Structure 1
Amino acid sequence: MQADKNLKCDLLVVGGGINGVGIARDAAGRGLSVVLCEQDDLASHTSSSSSKLIHGGLRYLEHYEFGLVRKALIEREVLLRAAPHIMWPMRFVMPHDKGQRPAWLIRAGMFLYDHLARRELLPGSRSLDLRRHASGEPLKPEFVRGFVYSDGWVDDARLVVLNALDAAEKGAHILTRTRCESVQQQGQLWHAELRTRSGEQIAVEARGVVNAAGPWVARFLGEAAQKKSSKSVRLVKGSHIVVKRLFEHDHAYIFQNPDGRIVFAIPYERNFTLIGTTDIEYRGPTENVAISPEEIDYLCTLSNRYFARPIAPADVVWSYAGVRPLLEDAAADASAVTRDYQLDLDTSGAPMLSVFGGKITTFRKLAEEAVDLIAPVLSNQRGSWTADACLPGGDLYGPKPENRSVREFEHFVHGLQTEFAWLAPALLLRYARAYGSRTRQMLAGCKQIADMGEEILSGLYALEVDYLMRQEWACSAADILWRRSKLGLHLPAGSAAVLDGWIAARATQQRSETQPA
Structure 2
Amino acid sequence: MKPPPPSAEALSCDVLVVGGGINGAGIARDLAGRGASVVLCEQHDLAQHTSSSSTKLVHGGLRYLEYYEFSLVRKALAEREVLIKSAPHIMWPLRFVMPHDPRANFLRPVWMIRAGLFLYDHLAKREVLPGSRTVDLRSHAAGRPLKPGFTKGFVYSDGWVDDARLVVLNALDARAHGAQVFTRCACTQAERGVNGWRATLRHADGRTQAVQARALVNAAGPWTAQFLRQQAGLQGTKSLRLVKGSHIVVPRMFEHDHAYIFQNPDKRIIFAIPYEDAFTLIGTTDVEHHGAIGQAAIDDGEVRYLCEQASRYFARGVRPADVVWTYSGVRPLLDDESSDASAVTRDYLLDLDLHAAPLLSVWGGKITTFRKLAEEAADLLQAPLGLRQPAWTASALMPGGDIAAWAGPGHEPPGMSAPAAARRAQAARPVAQPDAIPRFDATLARTYPWLPAPLRRRWARSYGTRVALIVPPQADTLAALGPEVAPHLFEVELRYLHDEEWARSADDVLWRRTKLGLHLDAAGRQAVADWWAVHHPAEAAAASAAQRVSSPAPEVPAAPSA
| Coarse TM-score class (shorter-chain normalised) | over 0.9
Question: What are the Cα deviations for residues 225-244 of structure 1, in whole angstroms up to 9, with x where unaligned?
Answer: 11112211100110000000
Query: For structure 1, which segment, 209-218 or 223-232, has the greater mean C-alpha deviation from structure 2 after superposition?
Result: 223-232
1:440 is matched with 468
Match of residue 90 from structure 1: 94
The structure 1 residue matched to 2:246, chosen from 239, 242, 267, is 239
Letter of the 1:325 counterpart: P
Instruction: Output the amino acid matched with 1:80.
Output: I
What is the match of residue 324 of structure 1? Answer: 331
SS in 2 for 1:5: coil
Question: Displacement of 1:507 after TM fit?
Answer: 3.1
1:441 counterpart SS class: helix
255, 279, 290: which one aligns with 2:286: 279
In the alignment, what sits opposite 1:263?
A: 270
Residue aligning to 1:53: 57
Partner of 2:261: 254
What's the CA shift for 1:508? 6.2
Aligned twin of 1:198: 205
**1:415 corresponds to which of 443, 452, 455:** 443
Q: Structure 1: state its 5+ residue gaps.
A: 511-517
1:81/1:406 contact within 8 Å kept? no
Q: Separation in 2 of the partners of 1:509 and 1:38?
A: 19
Conserved 8 A contact 1:33-1:171: yes
Per-residue CA deviation, residues 115-139 of structure 1 (Å, 9 max, x unaligned), is 1111111110011111010000000
Distance 1:307 1:492, change over 3 A: same
The structure 1 residue matched to 2:42, chosen from 35, 38, 44, is: 38
Whether the 8 Å contact between 1:48 and 1:483 is mirrored in structure 2 is yes
Q: Is 2:339 the partner of 1:311?
A: no
**Cα distance in structure 2, aligned partners of 1:4 and 1:151:** 46
Q: Using the alignment, how far apart are the partners of 2:450 and 2:131 within structure 1? A: 40
1:14 aligns with 2:43: no
- How far has the Cα of 1:287 moved from its partner? 1.1
Q: Which amino acid aligns with 1:441?
A: L
On the 8 A contact 2:348/2:364 being kept in 1, the answer is yes
The aligned runs of 1:362-511 (5 Å cut-off) are: 362-398=369-405, 399=425, 400-445=428-473, 446-507=475-536
SS in 1 for 2:244: strand
Give 1:408 shift. 2.5
Unmatched 5+ stretches in structure 2: 406-424, 540-562
Q: Secondary structure at the match of 2:167?
A: helix
Q: Are the equivalent residues in 1 in contact too, given 2:487–2:524 (CA < 8 A)?
A: no
Residues 217 and 291 of structure 1: is their aligned pair in 2 closer, same or farther, counting only changes over 3 Å?
Answer: same
The answer to whether the Cα contact below 8 Å between 2:75 and 2:369 also exists between their aligned partners in 1 is: yes
**Residue type of the alignment partner of 2:508:** D
User: 1:134-283 maps to which residues of 2 (within 5 A)?
Assistant: 134-283=141-290
Aligned to 1:133: 140
SS in 2 for 1:61: helix
Per the TM alignment, residue 418 of structure 1 is displaced from its structure 2 partner at its CA by 1.5
Is 1:336 equivalent to 2:343 in the alignment? yes
Distance (whole Å) between structure 1 residues aligned to residue 81 and residue 360 of structure 2: 28
Task: Tell whether the 8 Å contact from 1:266 to 1:273 is kept in structure 2 after alignment.
Answer: yes
Please state whether the residue corresponding to 1:465 is helix, strand or coil: helix
Q: What is the rounded CA distance, in whole Å, between the counterparts of 2:127 and 2:155 in structure 1?
A: 17
* Contact 1:244-1:315 at 8 Å conserved across structures: yes
CA distance change for structure 1 residues 508 and 279 in 2, over 3 Å: closer, same or farther? closer
- Residue in structure 2 matched with residue 513 of structure 1 by the alignment: none
CA deviations on 1:460-498 (whole Å, 9 max, x unpaired) are 001000000000000111000110000011111133322
Cα distance in 2 for partners of 1:168, 1:330 equals: 39
Whole-angstrom CA distance in 1 between matches of 2:390 and 2:435: 30
Q: 3-state DSSP class of the match of 2:293?
A: coil
Deviations 1:205-226 (CA, angstroms, capped at 9, x unpaired): 0000000000000000011011
TM-score (norm 2): 0.89
Query: Percent same amino acid at aligned positions?
Result: 59
Shift of 1:380: 1.1
Cα deviation, residue 509, structure 1: 12
Residue 427 of structure 1, CA deviation: 0.8
Cα distance in structure 1, aligned partners of 2:493 and 2:466: 12
Q: Distance in 1 between matches of 2:430 and 2:211?
A: 39
For 1:77 and 1:289, the matched residues in 2 are separated by 31
Q: Deviations over 1:405-430 (max 9, x none)?
A: 44322111111112111011111000
Equivalence for 2:68: 64
- CA shift at 1:404, angstroms? 4.3
Q: Is the 8 A contact 1:394 1:401 kept in 2?
A: no
Distance in 2, Cα, partners of 1:360 & 1:506 = 34
1:5 is displaced (CA, Å) by: 2.3
